[in-house]
Homo-oligomer: A and B are copies of this chain.
Amino acid sequence: MHGSRKLFEDIPWAARKAFVSSSRELELRSREILFHAGDSGDGCYLLRSGVVKAAVIARDGQERLLAVLGPGAMIGELSLIDDEPRSATISALKPCRLMHLTKPAFFRLADNNPQVYRRALKLLAHRLRGTNDTVVAQGTVSVSGRVARAFASLAEGLGDEQSDGRILLAHKITQNDIAGMAGVARENASRAINDLLRAGVLGRAGSFYMIEQPVALLDMAEI
């Protein structure tokens, strides 16, 4: 749970209140789609509770997952900023509550609280570092390493750190999702996951995954 994922950390209370009052609540049922890549739209959303995935469908029909996002995440900020179409499809992996903020409201708020601008810049900078790393990893890291990476990224997006340092991924994740994040075939994701399980780096807690050895995982992921 890296701080820079949260837009409103370090933001004065007055601004938070202004945000809440100028935003509108909405809910999503499981599997419901918030918007599709290519849609027009200029507002952004703050995820209050639940889990969503951001994905794009490549020309050949393959679904590539860019991220799985948990509470506190900012969604749709690219279109907010540059008025271009939505860059990814957002769909709910479980029931979600969101706040919707319009573009004028956001900029009014930010103009009055430069902290908001700084926070937003940090958020984008953090994402950019992440995608840059992904680009490099894509080309140089093996399938099993990229699968490890996918788990690391899930841990960041919705991991729940236990008191003993292990990280619980308290959400049902399919091999298809993992494969989509790692950019590998589902069958090979399966093999890689089992390797991680056998190595004891990863475990299963009920129907959820548990990262038993976060350090070892990051190492395999070449992070």
Contacts and interface: CB of A to CB of B under 8 A. Distances in A.
Contacts of A118: 81, 107, 117
B131 A132 contact: yes
Interface residues of A, number: 42
Interface in A101-118: 107, 110-111, 114, 117-118
A118 B183 CA distance: 33
A62 interface: yes
A23 interface: no
A136 B4 contact: no
A128 B135 contact: no
Contacts of A137: 58
Interface of A: 4, 56, 58-60, 62, 64, 66, 77-78, 81-82, 84, 87-88, 107, 110-111, 114, 117-118, 120-122, 124-129, 131-132, 134-141, 183, 222
